[in-house]
Structure 1
Amino acid sequence: MAMQNSVLLDTPSSDGDKIEWVKISLVFLPLANPISDAKVLTGRQKPMTEIAMLFAEIGTQEGGYGLGFSYSKRAGGRGQFEHAKEIAPTLIGENPSDISKIWTKLCWAGASVGRSGIATQAIGAFDVALWDLKAKRANLSLARLLGAQRDSVRTYNTSGGFLHTPLDQLLVNTDISREKGIGGIKLKVGQPDCQVDIKRVEAVRAHLGDDFPLMVDANQQWDRATAQRMCREFEQFNLVWIEEPLDCYDAEGHAALAEKFDTPIATGEMLTSVSEHMEFIKLRATDYLMPDAPRVGGITPYLKVASLAEHYGLMLAPHFAMELHVHLAATYPTEPWVEHFEWLEPLFNERLETRDGRMLVPTRPGLGLSLSERVSGWTAAQVTFGEKK
């Protein structure tokens, strides 16, 4: 018994550690080319030219360090930063291992603005940083800390299939993705002329062959009648899924499509709380649930969503942020998909590997990420709470 106690006392992580300092940064990552999906063609949004990143860095008295992030496409980045700035002092002096307790404390610090949207997305950056720190203290990758089911995850590319991309370039992009070892292709649909969508999907399916995994994403731009017609048209193309055919909050409409058609329905990326996901899960309004950890408030609430999805037998395909979601997808019992977007790569020194249609789960401690030198040039605002020693 004495030997067992000695082993426990020699464990590197101390139960008495405290958060000593927190640094948050607002970074605007420029995109090489303006990005357009169906929301642009319908006049609801302008082409996207940058991504606002909220980085959180957390340091402890014992020298622990964690890096986390959240993000916003188009408006919202400055709002996330301002909310994070208000609640960040709440972290000082807390034990970094008390992640659920800290999440709740941060949530109550901004309770008057709700438990979803910008409020939880700001919390998400801190939460991810705390999990990164915890995994590093255990000298484990995040996936292994959480209980990995696999060492690699199926991956599909989205960045090459946007609506602004001409058809001939679209076909070139699919070849590039396959040469990189990516195992699926997703196309954006939702053109004002539905026949254009059908022709583009038909051409890519012919180019890829009958069995190569192909998905489409309408980005919420169809009404119920149009979604019915397009889902019926797309049945012939052997798609892995049809994503966001309706407004992201139309759970009943998605449920009707999931019930009626053989092609699976996918949605969930725009939801920003566990309760919003629960409505879709209970109604079986999706076959592939697509939670986004930064949007839902970090890893802590993401794990609750994933647990519910597993209980109800849903398939999983977390949205965007592959640098984080490759770890989380690796823990899901049923084989998931991870979305391949190279957009965030300039922010980090490390790169994810793809091979034989799969994304390899990093084995470095924590997320396995460090910020690149280029980040400082894109930083618009930064503030530190507490004191580094």
Structure 2
Amino acid sequence: MPAAITDVATELLLVPLEPRLRAYGSDVVSIVRVLLRDSDGATATGFTYTLGAGAGIVCRMVDELIGPAIVGSRTDDWGEHRRRLAADTRRLGRSMFAPALSAVDIAVWDLRGIQSSRPLYAVLGGKPRAVPIYGSGRGSNSLGLDELVEQSLGYLRDGYPAVKIRAGARSPSEDLERLRAVRDAVGDAVPLMVDCNEQLTLADALWLGRRLSDLGYRWIEEPLIAEDVEGHAVLAAQLDVPVAVGEHLVGRYEFAHHLRTTPIGIYQPDAALTGGVTEAVRIADLAEAGNRSVNFHSLPELHIHLAVRSPNACYVEDFGILNGVLAEVLAPQDGVVVPPDRSGHGIVWDSGAVARFRQSL
């Protein structure tokens, strides 16, 4: 029987983003870390994050609600606690509770792995395999054209076989010029994607998407606000370039609604935002049952574990949103990455950076 959870604590980190990662006005990421300790002295970590305000509320949700509910319990009790907490907080709305639940859920799965001396992927029933990784983040829309091209080429020099570029903060015609310049620079064989971060109108998304097909882009990501299911259905039906959604969808029911009502073929859940490892795995399985692919959003050090147990996972995304507080990052070897064999998720935090960016609550 696993040891009981004896302590649940949170800390808020405000971490500056590298200038080349900044987009749409965001220059800092707020990271909420959750630390679990059990009666044997094992310590596990979970986390969530936001590029906006309000992360302190997430800490309070954990400190005042979730933490007290699970102290004294064991990790194999988590499923029942999770269901009850979700039911009890339903009227607060999913978007408020989901980040807090995600951070604790990730910590619980980390503790499960540590208690059983197994990597997270093994706890999830997966086996280690190599997964292609793509570079994401350096292709910011805040960069000038020449720097955008240089940063994209830099990903290729660093061993990434595919690259994603940001769009949506400029006019569609200027974005098209930038996307064409990157394609010309990297050549026709390199897979390229574009992320619009919910910035386009339906008309502009149709205009840009139709031209991306000629440039050989693999997908257009979140062209519309995530809640516009009908608009995404129109895009997926009318564009040749695939449409990808998911980083802003919360929980399996929102994904299931998309699956039922749109022909979108690429889903991008983020375990730190959508409900933790538990929910992200459910979403991956839903996508597989619907013959859709899943490409987990960001956080490669965590999502590699979920990708190797999901046969419909095509890529891991490397957006360095946590890099400022990590002592080790997942780096490509021959264009692919494999999960670490350390117990739990195996994320190695930089204790000095964590202390430097920790905020008083």
TM-score class normalised by the smaller sequence: over 0.9
Q: Distance in 2 between matches of 1:199 and 1:310?
A: 36
The corresponding residue for 2:114 is 136
Mapped to 1, the partners of 2:251 and 2:184 lie a distance apart of 39
Alignment partner for residue 288 of structure 1, among 247, 257, 266? 266
Q: How do residues 1-389 of structure 1 correspond to structure 2 at under 5 angstroms? A: 14-15=1-2, 17-33=3-19, 36-37=22-23, 40=24, 47-87=25-65, 88-114=67-93, 116-148=94-126, 150-372=128-350, 373-381=352-360
Amino acid at match of 1:296: T
Question: What amino acid maps onto 1:209 in structure 2?
Answer: G
In structure 2, C-alpha distance between the alignment counterparts of 1:299 and 1:227, rounded to whole Å: 32
Deviations 1:327-369 (A, max 9, x none): 1112111242111122312312222121122222222111112
Aligned residues: CA RMSD: 1.7
Normalised to the residue count of structure 1, the TM-score between the two structures is 0.88
**TM-score normalised per structure 2:** 0.94
The answer for unaligned runs of 5 or more in structure 1 is: 1-13, 41-46, 383-389
1:209 and 1:150, CA in 2 relative to 1: closer, same or farther beyond 3 A?
farther
- The CA distance in 2 between the partners of 1:230 and 1:308, in whole Å, is 30
> Hey, what's the Cα distance between the residues in 1 that align with 2:335 and 2:60?
40
Give the Cα–Cα distance (whole angstroms) in 1 for the partners of residues 22 and 340 of structure 2. 31
The aligned length equals 359
Aligned to 2:217, the other structure's residue is in SS state coil
Does the residue aligned with 1:160 lie in a helix, a strand or coil?
A: strand
Query: In the alignment, residue 187 of structure 1 is paired with which amino acid?
Result: I
Say whether the 8 Å CA contact 1:264–1:286 is kept in structure 2.
yes
Q: Which has the higher contact order (CA 8 A, sep 6+)?
A: 1
Paired position in structure 2 for 1:3: none
**Which stretch of structure 1 is more off in the superposition, 263-272 or 348-357?**
348-357
Equivalent position SS for 1:122: helix
**1:67 is paired with a residue of what secondary structure?**
strand
CA displacement, residues 305-343 of structure 1 (integer Å, 9 cap, x when unaligned): 111111001111111222211211121112421111223
Q: Is the 8 A contact 1:57 1:65 kept in 2?
A: yes
Q: What is the deviation of 1:371? A: 2.5
Higher helix share: 2
Give the % identical residues.
29
The structure with the larger Rg is: 1
- Please report how far the alpha carbon of residue 146 of structure 1 lies from its aligned counterpart in structure 2 after TM superposition: 1.1
- d(CA) in 2 for partners of 1:202, 1:192: 14
- CA distance in 2 between partners of 1:226 and 1:54 (Å): 36
8 Å contact from structure 1 (residues 54, 71) kept in 2: yes
